[in-house]
Each structure stands twice: as C-alpha cells, then as structure tokens.
Structure 1
Amino acid sequence: MDNNLSNMKNNLFYWATGELSQDAFICWLMSYATKDSKEDAVIKACAQEFLWMFVKKSSSEDKSNIGPSDIVVDKIERQVTVNEEDEEKKQKKRGAIDVLLTVSTPKDKYKIIIEDKTYTSEHDDQLQFYKKAITDEFQEYTVLGVYYKTGFQSDYEAVKEAGYCRIGRAEIVECLKKYEDKTINVIFNDYYEYLKDLHKKAEQFESLPLQEWDWQQILGFFSFVQPQIDQGSLRKYGFKDNFDYVHNQAGGFYGMWLDNKCNYFYSEGDEQIKYEIYLMMQFINQKLEICLKLGIKEMPEKGKLTPSNIRDRLVYDEKWKYKLDKYSYQKPARLGYGKNITIGIFTSQFTLSTESENYKQAMADLEGAMQGFAKMTEAICIGEKCAE
C-alpha cells in the first residue's frame, strides 16, 4: 500500500506542500472571480462557489435573492501586514493575514480574511487580532473570517470563539470534485488530486489493518473518534479530548488525551498535591495502547510529597492492592517517576493480528477502557475530588 504519495511525484503540490503554496492556489483560484479574469467558465464557477461557501458559512444575513454567480472579487491581497497598539503591554502587535479578499454582491460588500493552515494551528489571539484590525479600518464592509484547514487539528475552539467559519479538507475536495472532469487546467487538477489523495489516505484507517497505519491513518482515526467522544456514542462517559504528536527521546509518537474534567487533591500534613487521572491512546511501533495515566498538576516546590507518593497509593495501597486488572488494566512492566506516569495499560479483548486488527476493534477497546476508567475512579481515587 502506497502511503507516501509517490504516485503523485509529478504533481506540483506533492512538492509544494506548505501554506505559502496553498495561499498562492487560493489567490489563483479567486482571481477567476474578478471582473477582468481570463475567460474560463469552469474555473470561474468553481471560484464563485468557493466564495459562496465562505459567505454562507460566515454571515447570517439573508442571501435568498443572490447566489454564487452574483459574487465578484474586487481585490486580492497576500500577506497583509496588520498593526495594533497593545495598551496593556505598551507595545505594537504585528501580524500578517494570509489572504485578504475584497468581495461584493448586489446586496453587500465584504472583506474576507482567510487564515490558511495545513499542519500548523492558530496561535495566541491572531484570529481575533486580524478581525478587529480589519473591522476597525474598513467599517463600511462586512468582515468575515475563514479558517481554511487542509491538514489535521484537534481543537477548533479558538477558531469558533474568534467568529471564523472552518472550511475543512472534506468540503474543499467535495467542491473541487464538481469541476475536475470539466477542465484540463493542470494547476486546478494537481491541487484537487493532491487533496483527494491525502483525504483518501486519511480515510484508509477504515480498511487497513492497524499495524499498517502511518501518520495519515492515525490522524484520520483520531479525527473520526473525536466527534464520537464529543457528541456521539462515547459522549456518555464525559471525556474531553485532544490529540497531537508527542516528542520524546525515543523518537515520538501520536497520542490522544482523554480526561473527565476532574482533579483530585491529596494531602499529608500541611503538604498537598493536585493531580488527575486520565487516559492516553497512543500509537507506538505500529501498535495501539490505551494507557491509564497519573498526571501531577500542582505540587510543593520543596517538601516530602512527590509524584511517587500518589503513584504508590494508586497502585500499591492495601485497600485495593494489585486490583487494576479488575478494571481491565494491567500494570506496565515499569512504573515511571515523572509528573505523567503510566499506571495501567488496557487489556485488549481481541487477539492482535496483522490480518484482523482494525479500527472497529480499536473503538471497542476504547469504550472498554472508558468503562473501566469510570468504575475505577469511582471506587478507588485517593484524595478529595474537585471538578475542573
């Protein structure tokens, strides 16, 4: 199975994978929606449908009497520098908008901020900063924010809070698909084929044995799991989730964190440790592990209490000594000493084999791990429980 896009080696976007290259494609496509664009009815229609998608998802105004063909791009700008005085820090804030479109319809005029991301994510308050700056400068326009995301990302809360609509890879591929067989434009077809291939590989977690997954299937699986935890069949367990790449001395791995929004306080004398118990689903050496983790959140800088004290109480305390297996967790071969310690590994209910292990088994194991976690934390948590 080809997981390196090698079949796309003659495709421009296989080599030009960065955000600046994607910026250029967005601007190139949008240029066909200008009044003086080249005559290409297919590319123009696609550009206008993209714009229509931006406007519809970003604006709550009535658009019943207009459609994609009514949208015109008046101006396209790249890397637009934005400055603002930060009164609190007594200094200027500075940033650059990836793409800024000036767009008009028979009913309104828009400034559309496009924040283009492949595998990075938003940082600081850049989205709100850009939107405020453009709104202040162009008060006669309706300012819209678009978060154009073709890679993977776990948390979009900051995007939502900033009032940006998210346009993801699936939507982009679906829109381009309507036009790919109607044009022989190499730039258009290269971009479509590249994104379609990336999207296809992300979805192959459904068909490939788990042992054959690479980063695309792993992140595709995490992206599939997330809505099940947030609002689907796994919502009842009350976990919040996040996924990312974890760097370590062994080379790193992809992991998904699952916690139930609860902290615990454990005290001895006048010393206190604040800790949490959570799950981590991790892919290491082509193998999935669901780990029961102890995380230290606050502890005295100097004192007798250490992470090992909590670890030993949770693993060796006489009240439930060696009872992790009661909740379908086995103790790891070695217990660590840091602030994030694996104290149990979920025992899979399946016989692992290259031929049979797949995402459905992984989902069943994840639910089993959540069930065991809920029972264990209800029965044996050490300390005073405190909701986050």
Structure 2
Amino acid sequence: MKPNIFEIATKELNQDSFITWLLQYADPENKKHDVNIHNCATDFVKQLIHKQLPNFNEDIVKVKAGRQWQNIDVWAEINDKYLLVIEDKTNTSHHSNQLTRYKTLSIKWCNENGYQTPICIYLKTGNESLTSLKHIITQGFAIYNRQDLIKLLSNYSNITNDIFIDFFERLTRLENVNNQFETKVLGKWDGNDWQGYFQHLEKNMKLVNWNYVNNPNGGFWNAVLNWDYWGIYPAYLQIEEGKLCFKISTDPDEVEMPDNVTRAEIRNTFHNLIINKAKEYGILKIQRPSKFGNGKYMTVALVNKKDWLGADDMIIEKEKTLERLEGYLHFLKNII
C-alpha cells in the first residue's frame, strides 16, 4: 500500500482538520482553487443540513468553517443563517454529557446572532452500537456515518488532490476491514471482525449493547444479548470475543443484595440451576468456567467458541450461528 497520511495520522484531530478543510471548500470563493473539491464540499454541506432539515433547498452562497469553538470539534456558518455543529469521532464515543452541552451552547449562540436552530451532527467514521447511536439521536444530534461519507466521496473520482484521495482510501479500507469477518477464518478474527459481526447481529436480533471492555488483562469486545432477571438479579448472555457467557450481576447500582447472602452463594446457586437444567434439556455444550470470579459481574457458565460460533479453521455460518444464539437465549429466559 502506498504511504497514506491518514494511516499515519489516525487521531481525531487530523480527521477534524480534513472535515474543516472540506467544509471551507464549499464557500464559492474557493471554487477557483479546485472546482471538483468545491462541488463535493457543497454536496457535503447540503447532506449535513438535510440530516436535520430535509426540506432545505437553498444555494450555498457563503461558508465559514473552523475547529474547536467552545470545545466543539468542527463548526460552520452557512449563508449567515445556519450554524453547523459537528462532533467528530473515529473510534471513541461521546462522554460527560458533552452533546447536551454543545446543543445548549449552539442554541444560545444562534439566538444571540439571529441564526436558525443549529444543525447538530455526530460524524462517526469508526463503529458504534445502534443502542449508543439511538441515545445520541435523543440528544438532538443526527448521525452522519462512514458509509455516508464513502458514498459522498466516491461520487468524485475525478478529484486528484492527494489529501482527498488519502482520506477516501483510508475510509474505504476501514469499511472493507469491517466486513471481512464474513470471509475470514474464525481463528484469525481480531477486534475489527468482532465489531463487524456485532453490527451484523444487531441487524438480525435485539441486542442490549456492544462495546469494548478495557481491563488489566488487555480488554475485549463484548456484546450483551439480553437483560432479564433471576429473582432480583440481572441475568444475561454475553459474547466475549469467542466465549458465550451466562452471567449474573450483583452490582450495587443494579441490585440491592440481601445482607445474609454472599456473591459466591448467589453465583454457585445460579451456576447449579443452569448446569442442572442444561442436563435435563440435553444441552451438553454448556460448561462450568475454568475459574469462578467473585466480582460485580460473574460468569457462572459458558459455551466455548467452537460450540456456538465454529472451529478456528471455519468461516462463519451466519444463519446457523444466529439460530444457536437464539436457542441459548430461549433456554436462559425459560429457566429464570
């Protein structure tokens, strides 16, 4: 692969710079520098506005864009009438109530300057669960994702600018990597493949959420398939980059534990229930973990990767795997 500046400079600040650069090209004054980039940038501005104002049909006659206003990643003033507020993300997610704060700040600015209600965009070129994205929408932000951006840029194959080409090729590579789980042997899956698979799952079954769990052992990608209750305790299935785990929560934020019972007692009782019922139903793939934990979230039983997903030398069979997961979910819901 030829050297690509965006494969080297992968931080969000560098993506902020590209987005701002492209927005600035939408100003008619910059058409003289590169008419093709200008046309692409104009389409970009219109697409962003349409995310929240679908009936917008004005010409773009003036664009002023910049970075880091009130900690907002990218902003743009359009036609002295519209304020674009862009929260730009690669692989991280929103935090600390920042979107609500940005929305409030931008509304105040628009009111003070005679602008219409701000257009707030969450631009995401990495992956994020549907659960998280739906939460972002409730905070008044529209989603503009990697697929949207690839579709836009691919319409301008006549552009020869190196910055533009490098950014487009970087996005295209990310998209290809995200979908390679369908043709890659299971033993060689990495974090990208699990993200792609979890995106496939959430389109075909209702997931609670999926994300990256950072821990002292190096972290892993996980997906929570359900959130039901065994008595007062949350009981759920979780995929942990291979293992399908039957888990129980004793987190004080989620359950008030009785004074006369320990986590170990709860764990052992739930473990025995699952194992005994699995034997009764003839489900022989559910096993005891090699070691029990004693934390807030405890694995009480599991199914090894080869028994629900497939052997390391196999390519995933998506329909069969989905059927197995639905079967284990039905089993758990039935016994609790």
Q: Which range, TM-score by smaller chain? A: 0.7 to 0.9
1:28, distance to aligned residue in structure 2 (A): 0.8
1:194 aligns with 2:170: yes
- Alpha-carbon RMSD across the aligned residues, in angstroms, is 2.4
1:49, distance to aligned residue in structure 2 (A): 1.0
C-alpha offsets along residues 177-206 of structure 1, whole Å, 9 cap, x if unaligned?
111x20211010000001111111111111
Aligned with 2:46: secondary structure?
helix
C-alpha offsets along residues 94-151 of structure 1, whole Å, 9 cap, x if unaligned?
xx111110012xxx82101011011111112211211221212222222110111001
1:306 paired residue among 240, 256, 262: 262
Indicate if the aligned counterparts of 1:241 and 1:257 stay in contact, CA closer than 8 A.
yes
2:36 paired residue among 39, 42, 45: 42
C-alpha offsets along residues 1-37 of structure 1, whole Å, 9 cap, x if unaligned?
xxxxxx25x1110111111101110111111111321
Cα distance in 2 for partners of 1:122, 1:51 equals 23
Cα distance in 1 for partners of 2:198, 2:61 equals 38
1:312, distance to aligned residue in structure 2 (A): 2.1
The structure with the largest strand share of the pair is 1
1:247 paired residue among 185, 190, 214: 214
Indicate if the aligned counterparts of 2:250 and 2:257 stay in contact, CA closer than 8 A.
no
1:76, distance to aligned residue in structure 2 (A): 1.1
Indicate if the aligned counterparts of 1:324 and 1:331 stay in contact, CA closer than 8 A.
no
Cα distance in 2 for partners of 1:257, 1:352 equals 19
Kindly report which structure 2 residues correspond to 1:164-175, keeping only aligned pairs within 5 A, or say none: 164-175=141-152
C-alpha offsets along residues 276-321 of structure 1, whole Å, 9 cap, x if unaligned?
11111111xxxx221111221346689331122222222335xx76
Partner of 2:18: 25
State the identity as a percent.
Answer: 29
Aligned with 1:329: secondary structure?
coil
1:129 aligns with 2:101: yes
Paired residues in the alignment total 324
Indicate if the aligned counterparts of 2:28 and 2:62 stay in contact, CA closer than 8 A.
yes
1:170, distance to aligned residue in structure 2 (A): 0.9
Distance 1:30 1:351, change over 3 A: closer
Indicate if the aligned counterparts of 1:148 and 1:168 stay in contact, CA closer than 8 A.
yes
Distance 1:213 1:72, change over 3 A: farther
1:275, distance to aligned residue in structure 2 (A): 1.3
Partner of 1:116: 88
Cα distance in 2 for partners of 1:172, 1:77 equals 19
1:53 aligns with 2:28: no
Indicate if the aligned counterparts of 1:279 and 1:291 stay in contact, CA closer than 8 A.
yes
1:152 paired residue among 118, 123, 127: 127
What's the TM-score, normalizing by structure 2?
A: 0.88
Partner of 1:289: 243
Deviates more, 1:215-224 or 1:163-172: 215-224
Amino acid aligned to 1:369: L
Distance 1:292 1:76, change over 3 A: same
Aligned with 1:297: secondary structure?
coil
2:155 paired residue among 178, 196, 202: 178
The structure with the largest helix share of the pair is 2
1:343, distance to aligned residue in structure 2 (A): 1.8
Partner of 2:332: 376
Distance 1:185 1:300, change over 3 A: closer
User: Which structure 1 residue ranges, 5 or more long, are not aligned?
Assistant: 1-6, 82-95, 231-239, 266-273, 382-388
Cα distance in 1 for partners of 2:142, 2:53 equals 9
1:352, distance to aligned residue in structure 2 (A): 4.1
Cα distance in 2 for partners of 1:77, 1:309 equals 58
Kindly report which structure 2 residues correspond to 1:248-267, keeping only aligned pairs within 5 A, or say none: 248-260=215-227, 262-265=228-231
